Amino acid sequence: MKRLILTLAAASALSTGAPAAAQTTATYLAQFKVLQTRLDAGIRTRKIDPGEASALRDRIRELRNLEREFRRGGYSTAERQSLREKMQLTRTEIRRAIQNGGTVNCPPDLVVRNQLCVRPAVGQVYTAKWPAVPSRYGSRYRDTSRYWYRFDNVDRIYQIDRRTGRIVRITRV
């Protein structure tokens, strides 16, 4: 009897999870279609140049592949958040490309690489104007004679070599 009850409980749990996953997948597919439609409209009106269009197409393709990969194992909260952030960034890049007629202008916390707005990476020269590390992290990340630390106002602390101005390490907090 207990086995039957557990089996029924497990089956109902599985059946209620499927519609949510299907709904999430359908939502992402619809968002991909909107991104592609906006990109195509920008190309058609010649507000997005071919080089930029290629980079944005690659970005959408990467998002689709990432979504497929996440879908296989079921979407975790972190995976959904990651997809949302990346889709928002791509949406912003397409909108800016259309508004600027092909010129990429990134927010102050991002840099232009391959005509896309991306977060700075290790080895790149620090050019952003981020504030010092918040006091809650100050005991661990103190400026020294060799390095200084900056916070991107989201979730990363950048260790920057004072002599070269290059990012040495990125720590997610």
Q: Decide which of 89, 108, 127 is a domain's last residue.
A: 108
Rounded Cα distance between 33 and 6, Å, is 41
pLDDT, averaged across the chain: 79
Please write the tens of the pLDDT for every residue from 116-170. Answer: 777 788 888 887 777 888 888 888 999 999 999 998 877 789 999 999 989 999 9
Residue 103 has pLDDT above 90, yes or no: no
Work out the percent of the chain whose per-residue pLDDT is above 70: 78
- 133 and 99 both lie in a single domain: no
What is the residue range of 75's domain?
2-108
pLDDT on residue 4: 39
pLDDT on residue 21: 56
- 90 and 146 both lie in a single domain: no
Helix, strand, or coil (residue 136): helix
- 132 and 166 both lie in a single domain: yes
User: What burial letters (b/e) apply to 76-115, b meaning 16+ CB within 10 Å?
Assistant: eeebeeebeeebebbeebbeebbeeebebebeeebbeeeb
pTM above 0.85, yes or no: no
pLDDT on residue 149: 92
Please write the tens of the pLDDT for every residue from 33-55. Answer: 999 999 888 888 878 877 788 88
- 124 and 104 both lie in a single domain: no
- 70 and 123 both lie in a single domain: no
- 33 found inside a domain: yes
pLDDT on residue 12: 46
